[in-house]
Amino acid sequence: MITPPSPLGDQLERIERARAARRRRYVLQDEWITLSHGSGGKASRNLLDGLLLPGLGGAPLDGFDDAAVLPIGAAPARLAFTTDSYVVSPLFFPGGDIGSLAVHGTINDLATAGARPLALSLGLILEEGLDVVVLRRIVESIRTASAAAGVPIVTGDTKVVNRGKADQVFINTAGVGVVPNGVSLSGALVQPGDRVLLSGPVGDHGIAVLLAREALEIEADIRSDSAPLHRLAAAVLEASPQTRCLKDPTRGGVASGLNEIAQHAGLASAVDEGRIPVRGDVRAACEILGLDPLHIANEGKLIAIVPAAHADAALDAMRSDALGTEAAIIGEVLESPPDMVLVRTEAGGSRVLDMLAGDPLPRIC
Amino acid sequence: MITPPSPLGDQLERIERARAARRRRYVLQDEWITLSHGSGGKASRNLLDGLLLPGLGGAPLDGFDDAAVLPIGAAPARLAFTTDSYVVSPLFFPGGDIGSLAVHGTINDLATAGARPLALSLGLILEEGLDVVVLRRIVESIRTASAAAGVPIVTGDTKVVNRGKADQVFINTAGVGVVPNGVSLSGALVQPGDRVLLSGPVGDHGIAVLLAREALEIEADIRSDSAPLHRLAAAVLEASPQTRCLKDPTRGGVASGLNEIAQHAGLASAVDEGRIPVRGDVRAACEILGLDPLHIANEGKLIAIVPAAHADAALDAMRSDALGTEAAIIGEVLESPPDMVLVRTEAGGSRVLDMLAGDPLPRIC
């Protein structure tokens, strides 16, 4: 370590002085976002210090620096690193909003890598004219979701674009996590005979957003399932250490998730339609809209491919978690036809479950 | 480690088969981006496998997974983690484009944390109707910049929003790096008497973008200075291991950078106007436009605060790097007035250098 250039007390005093000065000087008095909030000048500081940092739970010590520095314990370590942008429309929907979604979605990508999430970054793209009340509500939601998941936001950036050049707010979160020694998850590790587990009913998120966005005459109490899956994933890995891979079936739904795994493995999977949980309201809405629940996005569901011998243990682990009480073993991995997913219907037939073609549900996350 | 479920040869063969299948099956035949390219279904795969992954230099082995897993060597390690979104307008400008900028800008935030950059993420937000030729050109630029810097793109995400809801392309890059043991940089470590170094002439990037965007009748050959600063930063740290802090003066320019350091330290700094390099064309354009070059964004310049005793060594290190040949010692740190930056003019006077108020230069990065 470099020798501190002055006694520690002096340093801390100086840091405290600087932090106090910041708290004193920057407040956000504007009602709307303007281009100057993206300038890197005083208005940017007013936004950062007057809304974003306090809204996220207080300025970190290194709030002035451009990168966060995180200790990551014992080594050799493996780092999981992921990113997602969020452009969901509308910004607020039953069960969540763009802020909580941006926290959960990126945590879930770390969780499916088998990682313990360490921290998130937050990149905001704001449209000139955005109501500051809307921004405050989103930041509050980010803070709440981050705190509940125990995964802090440690670095961020804000840009503002001209009115009409964005749609209120776009959010990017990136995430870093540590992959425990011994954990290795990949579609390439999947074996014929493995079991396919699903943590709960599908389609809630996509249908909730669709109903919130479109003026559809469908009366239904459907809430997004948006939730952080890292604890559920850790429980599965503890119960079944030889788990082959985990996947959160977001855009494109369970159909895309299973097809990606099949293609990655060069194998097939077959799932039983009757064993895939779908809520009655979601099923009804899908029928009216001509959608397959298996193509609808989820934001709080986990697919796990585990060796057959450990399937029951993994299922018990899922069901012991509040996010997996309706978990089920929905199918198994087959040698062929390679790269394909089959659905066995309740009538006794079988059909190919393809990836979504086209996009009935744009801007779902 | 988990025992591989089959001999390694089998595994590799399966992986190869899956990769070959992917190369075979997904091509991008569309001329414009549509909402379905953001659906998570087949069109998304066509875009990913037919343009993005090959454009970035080939699919990583774990191209199907949602997070990259990176080994990070010996420990206990400290990780630097940063993010920036890029909304620059126009997308292409002399000396760079939104793609190279997104690579350089995030590398530079890692560099100023004293980190060795490890990897970047890439989050694309595309506007429906975007010409695929434009996207190819940007992806090619990202690939070239990433390869030249030696910092790979390891994970990514693509969203598409409706026509008129974005401005062609927005990019977010996050970055992770490893902070070597012994390196600790922060504005809070700055001491009275420290010297202020600047790696070269200021204002090139901001003026280049401004002239490319506005139909101004100014004839000037000004190119963005966009460049990756991690090697320059490492050279400074090697020459002056007790360097207090590094800063890349982007939005808000050298004025904002120095003010942030002063506020973080609770100290002052004074710089000599005559020692701050500004190219003639940039100075002339600033005079015509009524702008202060010290408020203009840079994308390839480094401010270093170093102990006085090591200032010459740090200066030599900067000048030995191709990106620092015009480096200069531009001033020093003072005890007071706290949180302020002073400019000593060539006429012998002195003025307060404040942060930019308002925003003459929106969407400069």
Q: What would the pLDDT profile of B163-199 be if each residue is shown by its tens digit?
A: 999 999 999 999 999 988 889 899 999 999 999 999 9
DSSP element (H, E) containing B330: strand B328-334
**In this complex, how many residue pairs, one in chain A and one in chain B, have their CB atoms less than 8 Å apart?**
397
Q: What is the ipTM of this complex?
A: 0.89
- Closest residue on chain B to A263 (Cα): B18
Provide the CATH topology of domain B187-352: Phosphoribosyl-aminoimidazole Synthetase; Chain A, domain 2 (3.90.650)
CB distance A85 to A170 below 8 Å: yes
Name the more confident of B264 and A90.
A90
pLDDT at B280: 96
- Closest residue on chain A to B294 (Cα): A41
Q: How far is A362 from chain B (nearest CA, A)?
A: 6
pLDDT at A16: 59
* Burial category of B3 from C-beta neighbours within 10 Å (exposed 0-12, middle 13-18, buried 19 and up): exposed
Q: Rounded to whole angstroms, how far apart are CA atoms B305 and B269?
A: 10
Q: Rounded to whole angstroms, how far apart are CA atoms A243 and A309?
A: 11
pLDDT in tens, B339-353: 999 999 989 999 999
Q: How far is B68 from chain A (nearest CA, A)?
A: 5
CB distance B112 to A97 below 8 Å: no
Tokens, residue B103: 């690579």
* Burial category of A319 from C-beta neighbours within 10 Å (exposed 0-12, middle 13-18, buried 19 and up): middle
Q: Cβ neighbours of residue B336 under 8 Å, at least 6 residues apart? A: B267, B268
pLDDT at A312: 98
Q: How far is A4 from chain B (nearest CA, A)?
A: 8
Residue B16 has pLDDT above 50, yes or no: yes
pLDDT in tens, B278-303: 999 999 999 999 999 999 999 999 99
Q: Cβ neighbours of residue A5 under 8 Å, at least 6 residues apart? A: A11, B189, B191, B242, B244, B307
Does B22 contact A at CB distance below 8 Å? Answer: yes
Q: How far is B353 from chain A (nearest CA, A)?
A: 12
Tokens, residue A194: 């493995």
pLDDT at A46: 83
Q: Rounded to whole angstroms, how far apart are CA atoms B77 and B83?
A: 20
**b/e for B290-316, b at 16 or more Cβ within 10 A?**
ebbbbbbbbbbbbbbbbbeebbeebbe
CB–CB contact A165 B166 (8 Å)? yes
The candidate with the shortest Cα–Cα distance to B292, out of B256, B324, B263, B318, is B256
DSSP A98-124: HHHHHHHHHHHHHHTTT-EEEEEEEEE
CB distance A183 to A243 below 8 Å: no
The candidate with the shortest Cα–Cα distance to B18, out of B70, B67, B60, B69, is B60
CB–CB contact A113 B5 (8 Å)? no
Does B8 contact A at CB distance below 8 Å? Answer: no
Q: Cβ neighbours of residue B259 under 8 Å, at least 6 residues apart? A: B339, B340, B341, B353, B354, B355
Q: Which residues of B touch A182 (CB under 8 A)?
A: 1-2
* Burial category of A194 from C-beta neighbours within 10 Å (exposed 0-12, middle 13-18, buried 19 and up): buried
CB distance A64 to B260 below 8 Å: yes
CB distance A226 to A144 below 8 Å: no
Q: Which residues of A touch B164 (CB under 8 A)?
A: 164
Residue B238 has pLDDT above 70, yes or no: yes
Does A243 contact B at CB distance below 8 Å? Answer: no
Pairing, β A78-86 against β A169-179: antiparallel
pTM for this one?
Answer: 0.89
CB–CB contact A123 B65 (8 Å)? no
pLDDT at B76: 61
pLDDT in tens, A32-91: 888 888 877 778 878 888 888 888 776 543 444 566 777 676 656 788 999 999 999 999
Does A144 contact B at CB distance below 8 Å? Answer: no
How many CA within 13 A on the CB side of residue B205?
33
Residue numbers of chain A with a pLDDT score lower than 50: 1-8, 60-64
pLDDT in tens, B197-206: 999 999 999 9
For A339, phi then psi, to 5°, come to: 70, 20
DSSP element (H, E) containing B25: helix B8-25
CATH class (in words) of the domain with range A62-179: alpha beta
pLDDT in tens, B80-129: 999 999 999 999 999 999 999 999 999 999 999 999 999 999 999 999 99
Q: How far is B346 from chain A (nearest CA, A)?
A: 25
Q: Rounded to whole angstroms, how far apart are CA atoms A220 and B316?
A: 70
Q: What is the mean pLDDT of chain B?
A: 88
CB–CB contact A78 B70 (8 Å)? yes
Show which of residues 69-128 on chain A sit within 8 Å of chain B, judged by CB atoms.
69-87, 89, 108-110, 112-113, 115, 118-119, 121-125
Domain ranges of chain A: 62-179, 187-352
Site of tokens 């501190």: A4
Q: Rounded to whole angstroms, how far apart are CA atoms A65 and B109?
A: 9
Beta bridge partners of A197: A304, A329
Q: How far is B340 from chain A (nearest CA, A)?
A: 12
Does A170 contact B at CB distance below 8 Å? Answer: yes
∠ Cα B51 B55 B59 (to 5°): 85
CB–CB contact A41 B172 (8 Å)? no
Chain Cα centroid distance, residue B42: 33
Of the pLDDT bands very low, low, confident and very high (cuts 50, 70, 90), residue B51 is confident
> What 3-state DSSP class applies to A268?
strand
pLDDT at B135: 94
